[in-house]
Each structure stands twice: as structure tokens, then as C-alpha cells.
Chains A and B, each alone.
Chain A
């Protein structure tokens, strides 16, 4: 039985019929567009489909049922923190007071939102040990770019224009080196040590007068806390460089480790990971950035100011002359930030501490349950996620991690992250999160053990998985060689516009 629905759907273009739909808006006067010069007008109506509301509803309901989601079942996707998305947050974001507020409304009519945003900045600063926070970036990657551009501005303001390198471990998320390139830096990739941490000697050898920053994920993408973090940060600062922390794995260390206290100069948060804002099939997220004092002048503008009388306003651009500028229009992805605010308020400091405790406990529990069956490199406790490897299984049976992942679908689970980080052969990065029950964890462990057994006794069953899904393995090669990225066949609305 498939864990997702199996009713594949035609496209909206195939459902379109002339004359369907309409009636939702009164017709405008016939001469409404007469004052627009013909040269600026469309010559043909746009080729959009015509559907009636019942068809629209069935289409999107049926499509949604083809998706696996956190609301469907366990989603142990390492590095993504697929925790439960509280429904309260959806209610909060939809309150008309929040949802209908124009981004350029005067401060005096936006006091509720400004108060929330101001409080959220403070909460994130407290959680991270940073001195100041910007809520502007729309995603973690945009937060990274914001942070690294601030580092760039910092060095230039000091007259230090020779620093054109950023150091990044080989286990890093691809956004880190991509960010460095977008900010005009060369990436120097540093190998990991055999124990999964950074190779501190290689890092020190690469640090120098050309280093602008290091970018570290802590805990690392292997789910391991960087024990040598103080040594690494001291060496970085001694070389005149700044330290950026990729905060993707913050779920492991809430209330246990504050990056700002430890010496990181700048970090980003992923609200859609640690703070439960929903992933939405790929987004939206938000990527607030926290900085220590040294980088505060360079933060994107405007930020929220609290006046002595308790009212709130946005900064004027004159108040932050050294800002790197904007990274997007308007203030930020406020609807996402409202959700993160609600989440933090619901938990408080003690609740967030428990979140990390339970996230780390769950990961170590699964690691203990699976270590007899799969290889678990790095013989030490993990944090909120761990890497398992099917390299042995592959050598013995030919069954690869990809096949195991597809077979998990047959067992009713979304697979973990596979082949990331790149440093582990046939790797699977498993992150259960704190919102999964023990029964769920046990059932998942049993499914994984079953598949390992199937790999020995009936490998063909695994390599041809999934068997119970609406579609089987896809021809990705043809999709890339001969891209079909849009529907062709609609040639314009079939019924003429009443023009």
C-alpha cells in the first residue's frame, strides 16, 4: 500500500475547456482600457487555462495527496530538521492584522508587527549569544550571503583589501562555497580529519593574510560537535579573519552552546529548520543573521528601533551609513517570522533546551538501534543527526544507499538525506527531530533493518524499488538532456474576452 495517494492528475492545461470558470469578479466597464495605447497592449490573451472551481479544488487536493509530508509521516531528512509544524503558527500568520499590513505602511499603523519583529530580534540574539540580529534575509543561503558581504565590508572599511579567500570544510553544505563566490571570494576547501571534525592543522596552514573568513557548520554536517572549536576560532582571529557559523544545525545545541559566546562573529538561522516554519515544498523560509558588535554597523537596513516611549519605528537609512544595503525588497519574510516568534514564545528557554535534548536523544537512540546493521562511522555520540553508511552492504550485495532509500518508500517512510555530506561513501544522514514518538523511531529502525536483510536475501527487490508509489524510478537523464519545462498546447483563452 502506497504511503502517498496514487491518483496521478492531468495538468490544469489538459483540464481546461473554453467557457469554464469565471464569475468571481464583476465585469469592468467595456472602455476601462481605452486609455492604454494599443502599442502597449497584448495582442493576444495569455494562454491560461479555464477551469471551474470544483475542478480547481479536485486538482489541487488530488495533487497534494501525491506528496509525502511531515503531516503524513516520519521524515528523517538529515540537515533539514523536519520537525512538526505547529498549526497555531498558521493561524497566527493569517490574522488579518498581520496578513493585510502593507510593507510600506507608516510605522504608526504597524506597531503590532514592529513590536513582534523587535522582540524576535532580541530572542534570536539571546539564543545565539550574538549582539544584534537582522531579520531581512529570505532564506539561509541569503543569510549566508548577507553575513559574508558584511565580513567583506568590515575588511574593506579597515583598508584590508587583500583578503580574497574564504575557508570552508569539504563536508560543508554547497551553499557555503556558492555564497563565497557570490561575494567575490575564492573558496579554499579544507579536508576533514578522520574523526569527522575539521583538520585543524590544514585549517591553520590555510589561514593567513588572505583569509577573510572561515565558514563552519557546528555541529558539523556529520552531526558532530566540533570539539576543537576554540582552537579553530582563536587561530582564525589571530590571522585577522572572521568566523561565520552556518546555523543549519542549531536544533542540536539550543541552550547548550551559544555561538556568539564561543567566538563566532556572525551566523545565520534557518527558521524553517530550528524554528518550525514550514518547508512548503521547497520554501519559503527565512534566514535571519546574528552578529557580534564588530559587524553591527554593516547590517542590512532598516532595522526596528524601540523608542523611549515604547513605540517602534524603522531606522532611516541615515542611521546606518555603513550598512551593506538591502538584500531584498521591504523588511523581510514577515509571515515566516511571525511563525518563528510564536514557536519561540510557545517554548521559552526551557522548552528550547528540551527540544535539543530530545532531538539529540532521538538521534543517538536510532544510531544505537542501527549500528549493528549499518556502518556508523565516527565512534562517538552524535548530536541531532548521524551518518550511517551502506558501503559494506554495497560491496557484499551490490545494493546501494540509493536503493535502500527507494525501498524505504515502500515501507512507508520518506528516505533520509543520501550522499551528503560527500565525505562518506554510500552515506545516509538521518535526523529524526524531537517531535517523533518512540514508537515511530522503533518502527523506522525495524524497517531499516528489514531492508538490510532484504539486500542480502533478495537484492533485486531493493534495487528495483519503489514498488508501491504513484510512479517508479524516473528517467532523469532524458529530463536533463531534452528539457520540457513548460506545457505547450494552449494557444490562448478559447472564449474571447468581452473587449
Chain B
């Protein structure tokens, strides 16, 4: 069961709306698919994000995956803890494994993403 207060993308990112800011990460499904995560490449604060464009990369021992911006905005902060402890994405993908804090260009765009049951259906369909 994915957290009910988040929205999701087809590329298995989650986003939590907090006013006109949002926090972004990847879902447990994505983290499990990747396996032990060893490195997360994130953009510098200040960088502008385009919706659906890649903003970084997550590497596991045997795989790599692009990270896609769920919505447009500007990066305010990145989770520095991931540099020394990328395994947080595996252990707590929705909490301490967060990746970006973003100032949103348009908060309404978040609502247009997949809700929890739509995302779960997507995962179930494989």
C-alpha cells in the first residue's frame, strides 16, 4: 500500500505537496526493482526543472535509472544525506530517502498526477 497523501508518476516517482513547494522521491517499487542503491546523482539547488525531463540518476549495484521531474519547478534543496547513505532510499523511500525539495511553477500540476490507487493499479499491471 503506497502512502495515501502522495501523488505518483508512471516513472515511479512520488511527490508530496506542501503549499507551493513539494518534495520528490522514488517509490518503494522502484527502489526494490533497482536493488541496493549505491549512488544518487541530484541537481544543484537553483536548477530549473522541466516536467518529465530527467533531473538526475539513481544507481544500484547492477542497474541505473534516470529520475524524471514529475512537474516543473525550481530545486530549492536536495537531500545531502543520500551522498553518504544512499541506502536510505531503500530503507525509507517516502521519508528519509527523499530526494528534492522543489518550488512549484504550478501547484495544480501535482493534482493531475496519478493518485495512490491509480499508481497501485499501474504497478499491478506490470
**B87 and A480 form a contact (CB under 8 A):** no
Q: How long is the Cα–Cα vector from A476 to B62 in the complex, in angstroms?
A: 9
Chain A residues positioned under 8 Å from B86 (CB to CB): 481
Secondary structure at the A interface, as helix, strand, loop or mixed, is helix
Q: How long is the Cα–Cα vector from A477 to B89 in the complex, in angstroms?
A: 13
**A477 and B39 form a contact (CB under 8 A):** no
Size range of the chain A interface in the assembly: under 10
Chain B residue with minimal CB distance to A481? B38
Chain B residues positioned under 8 Å from A481 (CB to CB): 38-39, 85-87
Secondary structure at the B interface, as helix, strand, loop or mixed, is loop
Chain A residues positioned under 8 Å from B85 (CB to CB): 481
Chain B residues positioned under 8 Å from A419 (CB to CB): 62
Most A CB atoms within 10 A — which of B59, B61, B62, B87? B61
Q: How long is the Cα–Cα vector from A359 to B39 in the complex, in angstroms?
A: 41
Chain B residues positioned under 8 Å from A480 (CB to CB): 36, 38-39, 59, 61
Q: How long is the Cα–Cα vector from A251 to B86 in the complex, in angstroms?
A: 43
Q: What per-residue 1/0 map shows which CB atoms of B79-92 lie under 8 Å from chain A?
A: 00000011100000
Size range of the chain B interface in the assembly: under 10
Q: How long is the Cα–Cα vector from A390 to B39 in the complex, in angstroms?
A: 30
Whole-angstrom distance between the Cβ of B92 and the nearest chain A Cβ: 16
Chain A residue with minimal CB distance to B35? A477
Chain B residue with minimal CB distance to A482? B84
Q: How long is the Cα–Cα vector from A477 to B38 in the complex, in angstroms?
A: 6
Q: What per-residue 1/0 map shows which CB atoms of B58-96 lie under 8 Å from chain A?
A: 010110000000000000000000000111000000000
Chain A residues positioned under 8 Å from B38 (CB to CB): 477, 480-481
Q: How long is the Cα–Cα vector from A402 to B60 in the complex, in angstroms?
A: 16
Whole-angstrom distance between the Cβ of B97 and the nearest chain A Cβ: 14
Q: What per-residue 1/0 map shows which CB atoms of B12-25 lie under 8 Å from chain A?
A: 00000000000000
Q: How long is the Cα–Cα vector from A129 to B61 in the complex, in angstroms?
A: 41
Q: How long is the Cα–Cα vector from A284 to B50 in the complex, in angstroms?
A: 44
Chain B residues positioned under 8 Å from A477 (CB to CB): 36, 38, 61, 87
Q: How long is the Cα–Cα vector from A419 to B63 in the complex, in angstroms?
A: 11
Q: What per-residue 1/0 map shows which CB atoms of A461-499 lie under 8 Å from chain B?
A: 000000000000000110011000000000000000000
Whole-angstrom distance between the Cβ of B121 and the nearest chain A Cβ: 22
Chain A residue with minimal CB distance to B86? A481
Q: What per-residue 1/0 map shows which CB atoms of B29-42 lie under 8 Å from chain A?
A: 00000001011000
Q: How long is the Cα–Cα vector from A419 to B61 in the complex, in angstroms?
A: 14
Whole-angstrom distance between the Cβ of A268 and the nearest chain B Cβ: 26
Q: How long is the Cα–Cα vector from A480 to B35 in the complex, in angstroms?
A: 13
Q: How long is the Cα–Cα vector from A481 to B59 in the complex, in angstroms?
A: 10
CB within 8 Å of A: which B86-126 residues: 86-87
Q: How long is the Cα–Cα vector from A231 to B87 in the complex, in angstroms?
A: 49
Chain A residues positioned under 8 Å from B62 (CB to CB): 419
Whole-angstrom distance between the Cβ of A199 and the nearest chain B Cβ: 21
Whole-angstrom distance between the Cβ of B5 and the nearest chain A Cβ: 30
Chain A residues positioned under 8 Å from B87 (CB to CB): 477, 481
Whole-angstrom distance between the Cβ of A220 and the nearest chain B Cβ: 23
Q: How long is the Cα–Cα vector from A476 to B61 in the complex, in angstroms?
A: 7
Q: How long is the Cα–Cα vector from A44 to B36 in the complex, in angstroms?
A: 41
Whole-angstrom distance between the Cβ of A43 and the nearest chain B Cβ: 33
Chain A residues positioned under 8 Å from B36 (CB to CB): 476-477, 480
Whole-angstrom distance between the Cβ of A472 and the nearest chain B Cβ: 16
Q: How long is the Cα–Cα vector from A461 to B87 in the complex, in angstroms?
A: 28
Chain A residue with minimal CB distance to B38? A480
Whole-angstrom distance between the Cβ of B79 and the nearest chain A Cβ: 15
Q: How long is the Cα–Cα vector from A433 to B59 in the complex, in angstroms?
A: 35
Q: How long is the Cα–Cα vector from A476 to B59 in the complex, in angstroms?
A: 13
Question: Would you mind naming 17 contact pairs between A and B with Cβ atoms under 8 Å apart?
Answer: A419-B62, A476-B36, A476-B61, A477-B36, A477-B38, A477-B61, A477-B87, A480-B36, A480-B38, A480-B39, A480-B59, A480-B61, A481-B38, A481-B39, A481-B85, A481-B86, A481-B87
List B residues at the A interface (Cβ < 8 Å). Answer: 36, 38-39, 59, 61-62, 85-87
The 6 closest A-B pairs by CB, nearest first: A480-B38, A477-B36, A476-B61, A481-B38, A477-B61, A480-B61
Apart from the given pairs A477-B36, A480-B36, A481-B86, 14 other A-B contacts in the complex at a CB distance below 8 Å: A419-B62, A476-B36, A476-B61, A477-B38, A477-B61, A477-B87, A480-B38, A480-B39, A480-B59, A480-B61, A481-B38, A481-B39, A481-B85, A481-B87
